[in-house]
Structure 1
């Protein structure tokens, strides 16, 4: 009986401890058409970046050690020869032009995510680089998100953290594009 009580107590303790450490989500909607939105999910502790920046959406980690910028592209605004992959490549080249000592850490590889939700699946294509900017070393994680349920738009995530903080933020950098979805208005 004591073992059973101890087991129940430990189970309750670990589930409560796990629940307290998990960050809640906040949602940001971005209109891509009259009938559709892209919904982004950020950790509740992250804050929107105010002020001037080139992104449609930008968020900072609580201590400013990581940043996520999101470009949203509507296909109607692009020429027929422009592809999501070509825009991702251009975005990477643009960022690389501002860095020194650039090293490709992980090659691009498309990952098809099938979801059971109403928004269908998506394809995520990511690449990870290290580089220096103004004397500091950073990881740069680029992700292209293409949505099966909407061919009207796609998103490119440009995410960065210092080398020392990378392991603390990698999961967040992978989850935000994976949790992004198309929502009908």
Structure 2
């Protein structure tokens, strides 16, 4: 029976540690995403199918912000910069996007709210940010977001002091969907 030398034991232990660390790194992204959605950490918003039945007399000012990733050719901005609504009341806001280029451009919006403590209480019912958006050359669209502020915010240790929430979106250019990309590539008949 052969025994492992101290160097072989150390090498085996280090390989085991490396394998565990690699496994944890793959699990970290989905776990972090889940954690942020559940807790609102980092300004991550919640998602619901409908607004609550409870609407409070207290109001909240919602501010809207829009930006683009470097290289994103669209123009992108909120239609209205600010609105006030009652906590629990359903709000509807629009963002406008314009593709000034001569090509089809696809984009996806990332989002967050500030202050971070409001993230778990700002709840989206429907949003353009849930899906990829595709704009034709010269196309201008208004994209809706339906939301509410969860009444539970008034009972939260930190949330009860929030008076203003800012909803921010950043649009990033993404690859065109396969069916759209096929329309963009010249056919063999065009080449000859």
Which structure has the highest strand share of the two?
A: 1
State the TM-score, normalizing by the size of structure 1.
0.32
Task: Considering Cα pairs closer than 8 Å and 6+ residues apart, tell me whether 1 or 2 has the greater RCO.
Answer: 2
